[in-house]
Structure 1
Amino acid sequence: MRGLAAFGSAEMIGRIVRLLTTLVIARQLSPAIVGTAALALSLFELCRVFMNIGAGQRIIAASAAELAATCNSAHRLFWAWSLVVAAVQLLIAAVLALGFGQADAGWMLAAFALVYPFMPGGLVQVHLAMREGRNAGIARTAAIQVVADQLRTAALLLAWPSPWAVVLPKLLTAPVWLVLTRRNRPWAPDAAQGLAPLTGLVRFGGGVLLADALAALRTQADNLIIAATLGPVALGSYYFAFNAGLGIVTALAGAFGTVAFPLLCRADDPVRALRGQLLGGLALFATLIAVQALAAPYYVPILFGAHWAFAAPLVAILCVAGIGQLVAVIAANWLRANGASARDALRSLWVCAAALGGLWIGAQSGSITAAATGLVAGTLVASLITLITILRPALASPHQEQPA
């Protein structure tokens, strides 16, 4: 719980600063310009998820005897893979600019590739910190990174109302993350310990990568669908509403999952631990979501201006999808803790299909509100299926067999 409190505090600080930045964005940029930046950011997040190749989870779950060799191999894998992901992102940026006439978004996406050289130097360290429960340091790093990013964004927007004012600060915070992560948990390769077989990392990582890619697709492809069906202006409005509403729930669900996974791996009674995480998480998040949704008609016009009051119902609707995100995080942790990464990938596949299918159906009406309602409906249906098919042990007997 102390770990969740640390992450929760960091996320709350980050969300407060993000809300202030969103306020500046709403007042300084038109929906069309916001939509251009949102398109580049969404594609970047989809590319960046391919860095999650499962090696970090292997570090957390490895035995003490395997740890040093696993870290050595993971470090090499992170470096090689980061170059591959950067190259793929540059290719996508070229296609976006030359093939779809989105030159500004293409250049922004290409600039985001500069983030990847900073990542391998800290990925082993951050997963070792997770393994050892150094949650306060991880949360502090995340908070500093977010605050620095958002304050720079707000300052740039006031001086230079451009979508680049949203992009450039994210590049400048990558070195900050690297320095703070290495200070929180120092580590260096130990050649004397040898290397763990890469086949084990890749085999485990394949399912994790697919699951995380599908989860990222579910959280980012909504922007792409809105842009394709309703246009960039609608995307700007939707992106604003998403960050003003669902963003805080998404951040807290991610923090919950980060803290809960090591506890689940180390639990003497995993089913009992799963039950506590599921029931406790649902109680906490349902309360938070209810308060946030009911208060949307009041805080949206106050914080962002009366001209954004029309987005309050959209904010309230999107909040409800947070329940589905929490269930997805808990299910992913449960399956990965039991080595069922392939099953986790399958789960993410139909969760993604349900959420995006609902969004696409709703978007055919030409209404952003209908699109958001479809997204939430699809997410809740997928969550119900997840509870029945994967998380049943937490709702029934603690002695039921764990998933294989």
Structure 2
Amino acid sequence: MRAHPDAARSTARGALWLATNGIVVKGAHTVVLLALAAALTPSALGLVALGTLVATVAAILGGLGTASALVHLPGSAADAQRAARTALTLGLVTSTLLAAGLWVAAPSLASALRAEAGGAAVIRGLTVVLPCLAVAAVTTELLRRRLAFARRIVPDTVSAVVGAVVAVLLVAQGVGVMALVAGQVVQALLMMVLVWAVHPPVLPGWDRADARALVSFGLPFSGAHLLEVVQLNLDYLLVARVLGALALGHYSLSYRVANMPYLMVAVVVTGAAFPYLCRAQGPLRARGVEVALAVTVSLMLPACVLLALVADDLVLLGPEWAPAAPVLVLLAGYALLLAVLQVGLTVLNAAGRPGHALGVRLLHLLVLALVLLAVVEAGIAAVALGQVVAVAAVGVPALWLARRSVPGTSAARLLADVRPALVATAAMALAVVALRSLGLGAAAGVWAVALLAVAAVGVFLVVLRTVGPQTWRSARALLSRPEVLA
């Protein structure tokens, strides 16, 4: 990418910054999740999952996609800054109305989701901060448009860590599920304050042309995102309705653990690549797509394989979590396939085809609904297997559309990029199997499992450096911040 070294260098640095942010933020969420799992019953964790689902859907509906549309908006930085005022107005109005509506409807929603015991309070607590999230989103997307990732991650990282600390302290005091609510409220309020510290506050305003441009891209974009959330949580809804809160607790823990690599890798890589791919053209865009997909697969594959190999160690949280282990094995494979699909959808959005991405999301939702309705009564393992089948069926047409939207991509180059990670992952898997046969597992305690994980990562890195020296050099180059997308 010699023609645009500054943009490529900024994207590479952005990937590093977003990776740091992803590790800290999702690591903080993981700590809270494990603290809740250790302190609460599986059914209580199911209540947390349902409340989080409602809050996530509400956040998407409240923004209408207008903040994300700022990244794709044609024009200068001044144009984007002007349009941001309209985006803020739209986000504030819709999110405030939605938060008020959910406050009133919370008891009915909780009853419909079979979460009567405390469900209304959780829904209200998690959605009352929607206006704060709408304000923060406009500024963070402006910073992403400018590739100012270093400043963008400060509010995310600091607020997530503080919110996690509050939640864990309250869990230790026996507060229960409301500890998560308190942590999320603190996180949202602090996020809004910190975005004003790293960027001058965006004031409300209105421009009809800007509103039309933002909504024309934002509606299909947010529609695809909403379909993604519904698709990602349809299993929660069906498990809750058909199998009950106990089964949902087991399934929720497995899903959240399996989803961590996806959030730390796929979301990070595509988040950094999206603004670059929006502006790159021709061979530059084609190579950027290959790099994004290769990096995603190379990092997701060892993480998902390792999760599947140590799934039985979930019993460290208590013997009541044993039914979640086989589900985690299946969902680890699902997370890998979902990451590949995420890259394809990001490519479609960057190529100016959010309608195609919306169509893929809709197809995924329809296929998943049909599969899950057929298998949900067989239990949570069947639901997890249904997830794998659905994402595999949709991934093929999605990648075909992505390749058509960006001519010039090479399967041979992509295979060469990921081959070292394939070999290193196989070596890591053999090492883990050997170490577990020697007694490194849940029966030996948490430190034995930690040692096993460290050894697995070490084997992967050593083999990767041996069989893929170019990949190793590229990773080191990324850490030293030169252009690595060339």
The alignment's TM-score, normalised by the length of structure 1, stands at: 0.88
Q: CA deviation at 1:353?
A: 2.2
Q: 1:90 to 1:328 in 2, by over 3 A?
A: farther
Q: Match for residue 244 of structure 2?
A: 231
Q: Distance in 2 between matches of 1:244 and 1:315?
A: 8
Partners in 2 of 1:291 and 1:138 — Cα distance? 31
Partner of 1:381: 393
1:368 maps to 2:380: yes
Q: Structure 2 counterpart of 1:115, which letter?
A: V
Give RMSD over aligned pairs. Answer: 2.6
- The alignment status of 1:279 with 2:287, answered yes or no, reads no
Once residues 259 and 293 of structure 1 are traced to their aligned partners in structure 2, the CA distance between those partners, rounded to angstroms, is 28
Structure 1, unaligned runs of 5 or more = 400-404
Does the CA-based 8 Å contact 1:156-1:165 persist in structure 2?
yes
SS at match of 2:147: coil
Deviation at 1:393, TM superposition (A): 5.6
Summarize the Cα distance change of 1:152–1:341 in structure 2 as closer, same or farther, 3 Å threshold: same
Which residue of the other structure, out of 169, 190, 208, is the alignment partner of 1:155?
169
The equivalences for 1:29-108 within 5 A come to: 29-62=40-73, 63-64=75-76, 66-97=79-110, 102=116, 104-108=118-122
**CA distance, structure 2, for counterparts of residue 164 and residue 188 of structure 1:** 32
Shift of 1:227: 0.4
Cα separation, partners in 2 of 1:117 and 1:18, compared to 1, 3 Å: closer
Q: 1:19-69 CA deviation, whole Å, 9 max, x = no partner?
A: 333332222111122222222222221222213423223311231063233
Asked if 2 retains the 8 angstrom alpha-carbon contact of 1:24 and 1:157, the reply is yes
Contact in 1 for aligned 2:17/2:153 (Cα 8 Å): yes
Q: Which residue of structure 1 lines up, in the alignment, with residue 309 of structure 2?
A: 294
1:171 aligned partner? 185
- Number of matched pairs: 394
Question: Do the aligned partners of 1:250 and 1:322 also contact (CA within 8 Å) in 2?
Answer: no
Contact 2:167–2:183 under 8 Å retained in 1: yes
* Distance in 2 (alpha carbons) for counterparts of 1:183 and 1:81: 25
- Secondary structure of the equivalent of 1:249? helix
Per-residue Cα deviation, 1:209-242 (whole angstroms, up to 9, x for no partner): 2101100111222211110111011111111222
Which stretch has the larger CA shift, 48-57 or 229-238? Answer: 48-57
Partner SS state of residue 339, structure 1: coil
Residue segments in structure 2 that go unaligned for 5+ positions in a row: 1-11, 411-486
Aligned to 2:214: 201
The question of whether the paired residues in 2 share the 8 Å contact of 1:46 and 1:220 is answered with no
2:121 and 2:184 map into 1 onto residues whose CA distance is: 15
Residue 14 of structure 1 deviates from its aligned partner by 3.1
Question: How far did residue 97 of structure 1 move?
Answer: 4.5
Aligned counterpart, 1:186: 200
1:357 is the counterpart of 2:370: yes
Look up the SS of the partner of 1:119 in the other structure. helix
Question: Do the aligned residues in 1 keep the contact of 2:258 with 2:335 (CA within 8 Å)?
Answer: no
- Asked if structure 2 preserves the Cα contact closer than 8 Å seen for 1:44 and 1:109, the reply is yes
- Structure 1 position 306, deviation (Å): 4.7
8 Å CA contact 2:307–2:332 kept in 1: the answer is yes
**3-state SS of the aligned residue for 2:128?**
helix
* Partner residue in 2 for 1:402: none
CA deviation vs aligned residue, 1:124-166 (integer Å, no higher than 9, x gap): 2111110111222333332222222222222111212422122
SS in 1 for 2:310: helix
Give the Å deviation of 1:351: 1.5
Mark the CA change 1:6 to 1:360 in structure 2 (over 3 Å): closer, same or farther. Answer: farther
Relative distance call for 1:103 and 1:37 in structure 2 (3 A) is same
CA contact (8 A) 2:24 2:157 kept: yes
Partner of 1:146: 160
The 1:110/1:188 distance shift into structure 2, 3 A limit, reads closer
Kept in 1: contact 2:21–2:156 (CA 8 A): yes
In 2, the alpha carbon distance for the partners of 1:347 and 1:97 equals 30
Instruction: Say if 2:285 is the partner of 1:265.
Output: no
Moved more, 163-172 or 241-250: 241-250
Which one of 106, 115, 126 corresponds to residue 129 of structure 2?
115
Give the Cα separation in 2 of the matches to 1:122 and 1:48: 12
- In 1, the alpha carbon distance for the partners of 2:369 and 2:273 equals 27
CA distance in 2, matches of 1:251, 1:359: 27
Counterpart CA distance in 2 for 1:339 and 1:152 is 41
Structure 2 residue 139 is matched with structure 1 residue 128: no
Structure-2 change in CA distance of 1:115 and 1:69 (3 Å): same
1:4 alignment counterpart: 15
Percent identical: 21
User: 3-state DSSP class of the match of 1:245?
Assistant: helix
**Aligned in 2, Cα 1:212/1:197: closer, same or farther, shift over 3 Å?**
same
1: distance between equivalents of 2:123 and 2:272?
Answer: 31
Aligned residue identity for 1:372: A
Q: Which amino acid aligns with 2:100?
A: A
SS at match of 2:355: helix
Partner amino acid for 1:244? V
The one-letter code of the counterpart of 2:62 is M
In the alignment, the residues of structure 2 paired with residue 158 and residue 204 of structure 1 have an alpha-carbon distance, to the nearest angstrom, of 45
Paired residue type of 2:229: A
1:33–1:101 Cα change, 3 Å: closer
Residue 288 of structure 2: SS of its match in structure 1? helix
Distance 1:236 1:43, change over 3 A: same
* 3-state DSSP of counterpart to 1:364: helix
Whole-Å separation in 2 of the counterparts to 1:283 and 1:101: 40
* Offset at residue 200 of structure 1 (A): 2.1
Letter aligned with residue 218 of structure 1: Q
1:98 positional shift = 6.0
* TM-score, normalised by the number of residues in structure 2: 0.74
Of residues 23-32 and 246-255 in structure 1, the stretch that sits farther from structure 2 once superposed is: 246-255
Change (3 A) 1:43 1:390: same
Report the secondary structure of 2:352's partner residue.
coil
Name the CA distance, whole Å, in 1 between partners of 2:262 and 2:224.
Answer: 20
- In structure 2, what is the Cα distance between the partners aligned to 1:305 and 1:19? 17
